[in-house]
Amino acid sequence: MVLFGACVLLSGTYRSGATRPPDVVTLQSNGDVVEASEPIGSISVADDERTLRLVSELTGAVESYRVEAGGSLRPLGRGRSAAVNGPGGYGVRADGEEVTVLDSGGKTVGKFKTPPPSSVAVLNSGDVAVASPDERGLIHVYSPAGRLLNRVGALRVRDRFSPQQNRFLHRGRVLTDAAGDFYYVYHYVPLIQKYSSDGRLLFEVEVRGEAVDLQQALAQRFFEIKKAHQVGGINVINGAAIERQTGHLWLAMNGSTVGGVVYEYDGRGRKLREYALQVNAESGAPLRLTGVRDVAVTRLHVFVLTNQQQVYAFDRDEQTPLGRWWPSARPVRPMLIKAFARTPQIAGCGTDQTWGSCNFVCPQAGTCTNNQPPANTSDGSTQDCKQALHDTLATGYSVVSASCTQYQVGTAMHTRGGCRDDVTICRAGGVNSSHNITLDCPAQSCATGGGGEEGGGECSWTRQDCEAVNGIYYNGCCDRDGESPVLVDTAGDGFALTDAAGGVNFDLDADGTPEHLSWTAAGSDDAWLALDRNGNGTVDSGAELFGNFTPQPSPPPGVAANGFNALARYDDPANGGNRDGVIDARDGVYASLRLWRDANHNGISESGELGDLRSYGVASISLDYKESRRSDDYGNRFRYRAKVDGARGVKVNRWAWDVFLVVGQ
């Protein structure tokens, strides 16, 4: 690594309120910059707050620097010390699938195997938290000797096609605070979760801000064009750190020159600040950093690792609001910038730089064992990170800088190999932004019939893996449970639903907070099956409809919680039923059931919208429901259906469906 001389200064603080977003402030640096000669995966500071560690992404080697007065960095050397340290001097290092626990003197006290971790942390107890998301949990807690103590968190269905892609989207950084609680910060989803020391979820917070919006828009385009078996994503949150003194959580982001790229949260999940980062040079305009790969924080300094593999130090003494460009307080040697003589293409952006290739040739397939692929084999495809990132960016930009990282087979979370491409672009008006993408080589397919036990074309889930993450399995695919109520086709003319954007706000999951979701179309004659359980004359939440959030007994194996299962409890003699497999006038609940036709499409059950079953000509609803794979053009999934009969058992062309609605983002 090469040290370029400099010094440090910073600016920026503000307080966020409950009713307005926090301001953005600017930190400035005239200080030392460490330029890495190999890919650095993370940075951290020791408990003494005077030692900065840089951990190689490829080898796990640790290079240490002493933080001197004014933020200058003095090299201490390179070795195989702990990459992550915890209370009591314990440290931990992860090499591929092997985790090594070290005492304060660097002596090995434990060594054990785990699934390839995306990060590790040391708890106050000395136990080790390993972030290796699988169908059993997000975080796995081990004793120093390697005994599994606890599994924390759970996977959700974020990709319906591939369990490997689903696990990829759950990768993140695990961190511990001084109280013994720990955080999980997702890399590819804007989400923070905080857990107690015994693994209880304390809260989860959706990360919001201009930088997040920028990457989410790019991620959406990537998912629209990606192939079903492609494994990868756009980084939304690159890195994270806990400030030991305050317990605050700091996030490292990709962003732009007009917004913050480092976010600060308090221990209760409230966003406090956004920081823009400015580097002052001896001559020329100051540089705004737009791509921050990781962050480390002490009482006096903020250190950032950029996508260009440079580490900057910022002093936390001075503060200025975003938009004020401050000159260098002390002269520094200018940084080396590689320029290529090319014609400027975008107004205000300068010369368009070369964006080199970035790809990885995946290993060939091996021999499957018990329908499982070998750990280090793939399908022989070429993962082209540059092309994938290029395809997601809209036109009208020039390249400021680009860098590529190749992950060889057996590298940490990239056991089959892969690549990562980082690019900073400039758009009209001189606004820079940074983005990166990671692609992993996919596992070879060992399934027969095209994916899963029932065949499935592009899908490769098994029923067991899907049900392990509480998904709904069908035809090799795995969908989110979603949120469902039973809907009755009162006129026998089919259903008319909306997409999420055209829906309403309604508390379908009965958690006290309405969510925006798809709904019956305005003027539709379709009606929700309801029971006014608290007798207040309105339908207050999904608990008063019949769906997967309605209280119900455990469904049969392989069947998700659903509205018909919830309705079936009223056929039980203990609840006034007669156990004949239908709900009709001979069941006590029949007279209390209502059909809610939301005629004005506002998600509120108003006078005149609730009618009893007789008024709609519904004599009975069968409890012999069948699973279906039907969905409409908006993604609403009609998962289970049952027959509706008219007066005197007359068979009419009407059905009741348990519909899993589309929830807005």
Decide which of 131 and 97 is more confident.
131
Contact status, residue 113 vs residue 97, Cβ threshold 8 Å: yes
Q: How confident is the model at residue 475 (pLDDT cuts 50, 70, 90)?
A: low
pLDDT number for residue 280: 80
Average pLDDT, the chain: 82
581-593 average pLDDT score: 96
pLDDT tens digits, 113-124? 888 888 999 888
Q: How far, in Å, CA of 423 to CA of 279, rounded?
A: 19
Do 550 and 513 meet the contact criterion of CB atoms below 8 Å apart? no
**Stronger pLDDT, 369 or 595, i.e. the higher one:** 595
| Candidate from 278-287, 396-405, 551-560, 577-586 with smallest mean pLDDT | 551-560
pLDDT tens, 12-50? 222 233 334 556 778 877 656 777 667 888 888 887 888
Strand-strand pairing, 148-152 and 382-384: unpaired
Q: Does pLDDT of 252 surpass 90? A: yes
Using one digit for the tens of pLDDT, what is the confidence trace for 562-586?
Answer: 899 999 999 999 999 999 999 999 9
pLDDT 10s digits, 42-83: 888 887 888 888 888 777 778 888 888 766 788 888 766 556
The b/e string for 524-556 (b: 16+ C-beta within 10 A; e otherwise) is: bbbbbbbbbeeeeebbebbbbbbbbbbebeebe
In this predicted structure, the answer to whether residue 11 has a pLDDT above a threshold of 80 is no
Cα–Cα distance, 161 to 163 (Å, whole number):
7
User: How much is the average pLDDT of 376-382?
Assistant: 90
Alpha carbon distance 450, 279 (integer Å): 53
| Range in 130-144, 233-247, 324-338 with the lowest mean pLDDT | 324-338
pLDDT of residue 324: 33
| Helices and strands counted in the chain (H then E) | 5, 47
Q: Which of 290-304, 485-499, 502-516, 601-615 has the lowest mean pLDDT?
A: 502-516
Closest residue by Cα to residue 568 from 558, 557, 579: 579
Q: What is the pLDDT of residue 652?
A: 57
In this predicted model, which residue has the larger pLDDT, 102 or 435? 435
More confidently predicted of 47 and 530: 530
Is it the case that residue 618 has pLDDT exceeding 70?
yes
Q: How far is CA 20 from the centre of its chain?
A: 24
Q: Could you tell me the domains of the chain? A: 2-321 (2.120.10.30), 359-440 (no CATH), 481-660 (no CATH)
Among 343, 594, 576, 579, which Cα is nearest to 488's? 594
pLDDT at 250 over 90: yes
- Identify the three-state secondary structure at position 356: coil
CB under 8 Å to 649, separation ≥6 — which residues? 619, 620
Q: What is the pTM of this model?
A: 0.71
Q: Do 8 and 314 contact (CB within 8 A), yes or no? A: yes
d(CA 665, CA 663): 7
Residue 665: per-residue pLDDT: 55
- Alpha-helical (H) ranges within 561-601 are 563-568
Token pair of 418, please?
């892969």
> What confidence tens digit (pLDDT) does each residue in 103-115 have?
777 788 889 988 8
Q: Which residue has the higher pLDDT, 624 or 466?
A: 624
| Least confident range of 78-92, 338-352, 477-491, 593-607 | 338-352
Tell me the per-residue pLDDT of 153-186, one tens digit each, with 9 for 90 and over.
888 888 878 899 999 999 999 998 888 898 999 9
Find where tokens 């289970």 sit: 640
Three-state secondary-structure class, residue 254 = strand
Q: Does 610 score more than 50 pLDDT?
A: yes
Q: Which amino acid type is present at position 546? A: F
Least confident interval from 209-213, 368-372, 517-521: 368-372
Place of tokens 């009741």: 656
- Residue pLDDT, tens place only, 134-161: 888 899 999 988 999 999 988 888 887 8
